[in-house]
Amino acid sequence: MTYEELQNAAKILNLPDKASWEEIRERYRALVKLHHPDKGDGNSNRIREINSAYDIVTAYCRDYRFSFSREEFYEQNVKERLRMQFGQEPF
């Protein structure tokens, strides 16, 4: 997979620059419901495109190397970062 293929797949699935696994699955499921060929107005070419994009994104996520660094932890967990910065002070 190339970066361009990944970007195209993210565009097809309408994903933002950062997305959780749950967001990816939700967007995929919504598109499948909308374009499924068993629906009267479903488009079989579009569903193939969506499935292919989902395969690319899931392959990327499966091979992604997660960071367990302190910086990444606090970027992903804003409440904990604020607790670390300000202690138990009420907001």
Asked if residue 6 has pLDDT above 60, the reply is yes
- Structure token digits, residue 47: 């569903």
32-82 per-position pLDDT tens digit: 988 887 776 667 788 999 999 999 999 999 988 878 888 888 888 888 888
User: Domain holding 41: CATH number?
Assistant: 1.10.287.110
CA dist 64 → 42, 59, 61, 86 (Å): 33, 9, 5, 32
Return the pLDDT at 21. 92
Residue identified by tokens 């499935």 is 51
At 15-43, the pLDDT tens digits run 999 899 999 999 999 999 888 877 766 67
Asked whether residue 71 is assigned to any structural domain, the reply reads no
Work out how many domains the chain is built from and give that number: 1
| Structural domain span for residue 28 | 3-65
Residue 9, token pair as written in the block: 């797949």
Q: Residue 80: inside a domain, yes or no?
A: no
Q: What are phi and psi of 90, to 5 degrees?
A: -70, 150
Closest CA to 5 of 46, 42, 52, 44: 52
Q: Which tokens in the block code for residue 36?
A: 């499924």
Q: For residue 76, is it within any domain?
A: no
Considering the entire predicted model, what is its pTM?
0.74
20 in a structural domain: yes
Residue 82 lies in a domain: no
Token readout for 48 is 């193939």
| 89 has a pLDDT exceeding 90 | no
Q: Is residue 78 part of a domain?
A: no
